[in-house]
Structure 1
Amino acid sequence: MKIFKTTTRKIILIIFVLAFTLNTFVYAGVNPTREELELMIDRVAEKRAIPAILLKAIARVESCYEHYKSDGSPKINGTSIGLMQINNRYGGYDSEKLKYDLEYNIEAGADVLLNKWSMSSYNEVSSVGNMDPNVLENWYFALWAYNGWAQSNNPNVVQSYAKKYTYQQLIYDVIEKEYDGKIHNIDFSYLPATGKPSRSLVVPTPMYTNGGNIAFYEKGDYVRTDGIRTKFHLRDAPAGRYIHDISLNQLGIIVEGPVLQNGYYWYKVYIDDNTEGWIERNFLYRTGDNEYGRYVFEDISFHWARKIIMELYGKNIISEAQYYNPDNYVSKEEFCILLSK
């Protein structure tokens, strides 16, 4: 009987220790520095063809650049999770990954913003100008919708909701005060005095505009489908009808584009003799080009020096590796080695 009690106590103690350890592990989240988070957002924004400054400002407004609380647990407000405060009420994303995978959370934020942009492009909410996504001012209604397509974000009625600013104005203010940028507001006279604007409303792009930093591809570039989604569509024309379904990481070559249509830049991609069509730039990741072939470094796809780097590789001056780190400083030793080759 005494042995049984001792054994039982040991088992209980082990269970308690395991439970405490697992709990500590689950809630051991530490926030990266703001600089590190901004670099992560830059990488996602480059791939998703979204002006990076918009995603950064959203992260600042939504969570103050904090994914985890002081106790290490994920920052959750109601059904909104993490850095980008993704509302997963309807289960469109993996909740556990939203909590513990920062890059996934940022990707989900980019996906939500693209969905709102799509709503604006296809008259599900109001739109601005020709909906060129590389014009920051054109994102006004997509930013509004990110916070919910509600009349409380109508600048003509915002004060009646005990709010000082609309959500989109908060985004604009962060860009101006913390990133030394400027986005010009649309003409509010186009908006109703109460309620939400018509879904079919098209407001002119402001006279003065600011460009984004979307990177464009070239004919002959090697690409693959990329993103948080698992299925993509090829169309018979820019914004045309679906003709092929393709999967994640499908390789192809750009043969035409870009063409701006319905708020997206489209590229015609050749996959094989039976599969070819148009797809949004947002879901294509460049992996090489016609002149230098497949890139041997994962981090040069959007870098201005990518072709020079590949030329050096082709001449055996640099060796293949997973990352090249093109923005790092070159040490004296590395420079001497390069000169010797």
Structure 2
Amino acid sequence: MKWAKSLILTLVIMTFGFAGNVDAAEGDYEELSWEKKHELLTNIAIEYNIPPEILKAIATVESDMMQFKDGEIRVSDDGGIGMMQITNSDFDFDEEKLKTDTAYNIEAGAKILDAKWKLMDSGNLPEINGANNRHIIEQWYFPIMAYNGVSNRNNPDNEDIDITYQKKVFNIIENKSFVDIAETPDKFGFGLENGDLKFNDLEYKWEEADAYTTQMFEKGDKVFVMNNVDLNVNDLDYGNLRSQLDFSSAVTMRVPYYTELEITGGPYFENSTFDNQFITYKVEGSNISGYMSSSNLHPMDSLQGEINWEEAQNNVAIDKTWEVEMSTQIDPASVNERNVYMVREDGVGIRSDVSLTEDGKHILVEPQYDYMPGQKYTLHIKDLISEQLGNKMKKTTAMNFEVEQAYTDQLEEDQVNFKASLNQKTFSEDDRIRVTATIENNGDEAYIHQGSSTCDDEIFFFIQQDGERAQFVGTGDVAPRDCTTDMVNIELEAGEKRTAYATFDLETEEIGTLDPTTEAAKSGEYTLIARYGDKLIEMPFVVK
């Protein structure tokens, strides 16, 4: 759609930064804490269905996210007021509240930005990719421009300027909220009429403009682990999980890319600062529970797309390295753990080493640890780029595979099937013990047993030697050290199936001291115990 030649778009122009205070009132105004500012900016943005990353970045460009200056009211030379630098607008704002009330000033900025988005609905401002999703940050390109002013100073085609307002905002989102924004097109092809900016089209296409907000999650939302780390520079294909909300605490787990999680708490703002404009959520997944920054979480919706399914593979070796042949040579820069990855059936991502062979046509995918025996996985390949043509894969290619059950045992009684799988029978110094177990009620009625409410309602694993428990260092569904002594009825519903996983290092821990120590497990015979209530599976193994 073309604009009529005589039509020049005129919009209310916001300020371009601030130049100092005029008519500043005497006083001692106190700036809110960073925690409180982030809480206000986030909640107000969500109220107006604006990605919080955008509102925070605008506040940063306008005022360094400061409502006051040296304890006095902030008013710029062109009349911009407060944190969001509010000037003349179509809204009847209370000027005194704009000056002194931080929340009121932020909400005024949100109202103005929301109005700029609605200009696209009315055909008075161009759209990016149809402007059909307010949660995709790049689709706010023109509303952000309009917040500051639709003028030639914000024209990316203008060679006389170093950087546009909207580009400043996007840079802050990338560098402080840590969301990867698609590279801005070199030319939009805007026009000029009598020195003023006008748009030759009302619809613009922007390839790969799909950066979803990571700060609008609610309790119960499904997400997956991902961040904007440059994997060609840093091998950080995981998100840090902490057991404490305070991010100065130690990292308790490195959660692999594409691990599926559920939001169970937050948002929290204790870790938000001027430079760290992310927020924090509490998350849970398979054997995962703790706190993670929003910059490590992406919405499941962003994974949508067509998938080309390859034939499934069965009885795959515990340590299988995949070699995938491509039909053309692949750009090495596109071969990384973001584009080639594996996920276990319970939603846990698998850390692997991904590489390209010298001929450029074969991709190697090597798991960093053995797969879990008897479990199902999916290998995904997406967004690879042809070395010759420079074009990207249009569809994701995926393949399901099931791992061999190298060493198994099972128990069937009371119409309940209890089965455990160990990755091998003999272990040496560099190995890891990996075990899975499933219990399924094949009967028509619930299976009921009595036990401890904290220890007998789930499958768990532990290791014994000569009838005594050996304190192997383990993660996952490892037996708790303390159990309540209450006796309650525990039910496994008819048709219900549960699965558990655990990994043990070949180290044992000395307990009962103030400073527990670990040492290599002694050579000898051991027994791994899988337990659910009164049902036990015993699996002997050897450490050499």
TM class by shorter chain equals: 0.5 to 0.7
CA contact under 8 A between 2:81 and 2:98: conserved in structure 1?
A: yes
Which amino acid letter does the alignment assign opposite residue 206 of structure 1? Answer: E
- Counterpart CA distance in 1 for 2:95 and 2:148 is 19
* Greater helix proportion: 1
Change (3 A) 1:107 1:304: farther
Evaluate the alpha carbon distance shift between residue 149 and residue 175 of structure 1 in structure 2; reply closer, same or farther with a 3 A threshold.
same
Match of 1:92 in 2: 92
Task: Identify if the C-alpha distance between structure 1 residues 208 and 127 changes in structure 2 by more than 3 Å, giving closer, same or farther.
Answer: closer
Alignment root-mean-square deviation, CA? 3.1
Point out where structure 2 has 5 or more consecutive residues left out of the alignment: 1-23, 221-262, 267-280, 283-289, 291-544
Counterpart position of 2:522: none
For residue 209 of structure 1, report the CA deviation from its aligned partner.
1.5
Q: How many residues align?
A: 200
Deviation sequence 1:103-160 (CA, Å, 0-9, x none): 1100000001001111123211111112111111101011100001112101110x42
Which residue number in structure 1 is paired with residue 151 of structure 2?
A: 150
**Do the aligned residues in 1 keep the contact of 2:25 with 2:72 (CA within 8 Å)?**
no
Aligned pair 1:79/2:79, yes or no?
A: yes
Are 2:62 and 1:66 equivalent residues in the alignment?
Answer: no
| 8 Å contact kept, 1:46–1:215 | no
Query: Residue type of the partner of 1:33?
Result: S
Is the partner of 1:189 in helix, strand or coil? coil
Q: Could you tell me which residue of structure 1 aligns to residue 296 of structure 2? A: none
Aligned to 1:135: 136
Q: Relative to 1, partners in 2 of residues 1:129 and 1:25: Cα closer, same or farther, differing over 3 Å?
A: closer
In the TM superposition, residue 96 of structure 1 has moved relative to its aligned partner by 0.8
| Aligned partner letter, 1:171 | V
**Percent identity, aligned pairs only?**
27
TM-score normalized with structure 2 length: 0.34
- Amino acid of the residue matched to residue 98 of structure 2? L
**AA in 1 matched with 2:112:** V
8 Å Cα contact 2:190/2:197 also seen in 1: yes
Secondary structure of the corresponding residue to residue 81 of structure 1: coil
Seen in structure 2, the aligned counterparts of structure 1 residues 42 and 197 have a Cα distance that, compared at 3 Å, is: same
Query: Cα–Cα, structure 1 residues 25 and 127, in superposed 2: closer, same or farther, change >3 Å?
Result: closer
Q: Does 1:42 align with 2:42?
A: yes
Which deviates more from structure 2 when the two are superposed, residues 54-63 or residues 173-182? 173-182
TM-score w.r.t. structure 1 length? 0.52
Q: Structure 1 32/67 Cα, relative in aligned 2: closer, same or farther at 3 Å?
A: same
Where in structure 1 are there 5+ consecutive unaligned residues? Answer: 1-23, 219-302, 307-325, 330-341
Q: Does 1:108 align with 2:105?
A: no
Greater fraction strand: 2
Secondary structure at the counterpart of residue 196 of structure 1 = strand
Instruction: Map 1:158-173 to 2 at 5 A.
Output: 159-160=159-160, 163-173=161-171
CA distance in 2 between counterparts of 1:90 and 1:138 reads: 23
Q: Deviations over 1:6-25 (max 9, x none)?
A: xxxxxxxxxxxxxxxxxx99
Aligned residue for 2:104, secondary structure, equals helix
Q: CA deviation at 1:181?
A: 1.9
Shift of 1:55: 0.2
Q: How many Å separate the matches in 1 of 2:90 and 2:50?
A: 24
Which structure has more RCO (C-alpha within 8 Å, separation ≥ 6)? 1
Q: How many angstroms apart in 2 are the aligned matches of 1:207 and 1:91?
A: 35
State the distance in 2 between where 1:35 and 1:217 align.
Answer: 20
Any conservation in 1 of the 2:191–2:200 contact (CA below 8 Å)?
no
The 1-side partners of 2:92 and 2:183 are apart by: 32
Q: Distance in 1 between matches of 2:205 and 2:25?
A: 52
